[in-house]
Amino acid sequence: MLAATEALVLRSEQLFGRLFERVPVLFDLRGRAAGMFKVVGQRRWIRYNPWIFSKYFEENLRDTVPHEVAHFVVHELYGSRGVKPHGPQWQAVMQRFGAAAEVTFDLDLDGIPRRRQRTHPYRCDCRLHQVSSTRHNRVQRNSGRYHCRTCGGDLVYAG
């Protein structure tokens, strides 16, 4: 995986006539995603899901590695403002790689560990809801409010 990622970065340098700074490549991704290009401030890195890669190595070498390297190349060439994740710039890079510009894969993930998010009990006027930790934290920080789709009532923490 590291060699395939490096080979595509080298190829990108030839295709675009410029050098690209190397970013960390991690094998720490969990859940249903096979790969991810991540940017936080000035930091950038590529993450791969070792479980999915071990189950579908060839498919991921062919599809996921170019997909994530293309995100990295687009970010380096155009930045992130006004550039859609799978927009024309990304599709053009994928085409130059000779890879299919597919956004998702449809492989059986049976046996792949999934990331589980804790849920929290919330009540409305008609029933009890289970709300994800992400939404629960937003409510606790007063940066989010949620309503029941059935009765329209506010969801109130019941824990």
Q: Which residues in 134-151 are b (16+ Cβ under 10 Å) and which e? A: ebbeebeeeeeebebeee
The residues annotated with a catalytic role in the active site are 68
Determine contact, residues 32/114, Cβ cutoff 8 Å.
yes
Other Cβ atoms within 10 Å of 53 Cβ, number: 20
Distance set, CA 137 to CA 93, 143, 145 (Å): 38, 9, 11
Token pair 């029941």: residue: 148
Tell me, rounded to whole angstroms, the distance of Cα 157 from its chain centroid. 30
Determine contact, residues 147/156, Cβ cutoff 8 Å.
no
Question: Which has the closest alpha carbon to 136: 113, 156, 151?
Answer: 156
